Amino acid sequence: MAICENRVVIVTGAGGGLGKAYALGFAAEGAKVIVNDINGKAAESVVETIKQSGGEAVVNSNDITDYEESALIVKQAIEAFGDLHVVVNNAGICRDRMFTSLSESDWDAVMAVHLKGHFCISSHAVKYWREQSKGGKDVNARIINTSSGAGLQGSIGQSNYAAAKGGIASLTLVQAAELARYGITANGLAPAARTGMTEDVFGDMMKKPEDGFDFYAPENVAPLVVWLGSEQSQNVSGRLFEVEGGKISLADGWRRGPENDKGARWEAAEIGQAIAGLIDEAVPAQKVYGT
């Protein structure tokens, strides 16, 4: 039996790239998919591909950055397929600038699509699942968020994107902790794949090889996302996975490092030596991308 048989899944930004790969992957494993993308024609193409393969899918072009419109995505899933089990927050944009050149609109646009977009649709889905749980239903729901290596380690020229993606990583931890009581898991991933967002910066590095394993194909990321959306992942929550090619790794997040307890208030003149000692003891951080 397919691992997502009859599960209802919303995938945002599913008109191309990773989102398309996720939508097709879920459909291949028996899920009913709401293909959300502001590019309605792209979404229609994905839905048609799913239907031609015998799957079930519907088009949605509502704006994930608008709270009320996001409610319509959840409503459509329930009306079209009778339930909702998984939200995959995938949609994203880039407005790359060095911090000194970053405009307010560059900042706001990236925060809206990434961070607010993750909040809006998940908020409506969680309210639906909470009501189901309170009504006595056995809920087995999933939130799958999209962070980035930029959000975990930082990235030169992407302060807005890195801040949004770092926020998503932290959001995932809180969602997992708060929502477990309702039967909801929350996990995130930091994928590396060839998409419209990466082609300008990493086009040469990520281009499709003439033969052999296509390391940066978005289809390589889809199996992990599909598994996270299945009932098989019930005991996995609050985790963030890095995935590229055939590699899956579990990110090791911020944790308390070396400590120096004086047992009394520090004098400002003492701080420098104390900090130097802590830095010497600490495991070096991963370098910021681009340095």
Residue ranges of domains in the chain, CATH in brackets: 8-250 (3.40.50.720)
Is the CA virtual torsion 234, 218, 109, 74 positive or negative? negative
**Residue 200 confidence (pLDDT):** 54
**Residue 212 confidence (pLDDT):** 72
Of 79, 44, 36, the residue nearest 61 (C-alpha): 36
The answer to whether 163 touches 147, Cβ cutoff 8 Å, is: no
Structure tokens at 83: 């339930």
Catalytic positions, written as ranges: 148, 161, 165
**Residue 193 confidence (pLDDT):** 85
Is the pTM above the cut of 0.85?
A: yes
Q: What is the mean pLDDT of the chain?
A: 93
Tell me the three state secondary structure of residue 11.
Answer: strand
- Both ends of the chain: CA-CA distance in Å? 47
Please compute, for residue 241, the number of CA atoms within 13 A of its CA located in the half-sphere on the CB side.
19
**Residue 38 confidence (pLDDT):** 95
218 to 104, 128, 215: CA distances (angstroms) = 31, 30, 9
User: How far is it, in rounded angstroms, from Cα 157 to Cα 200?
Assistant: 13
**Residue 122 confidence (pLDDT):** 98
> What are the pLDDT digits (tens) for 95-136?
999 999 999 999 999 999 999 999 999 999 999 999 999 999
Tell me the three state secondary structure of residue 56.
Answer: strand
pLDDT averaged over consecutive 10-residue blocks of the chain (291 residues)? Answer: 95 96 98 97 98 98 97 98 98 93 96 97 98 97 95 89 95 98 97 69 60 84 97 97 94 90 95 95 88 87
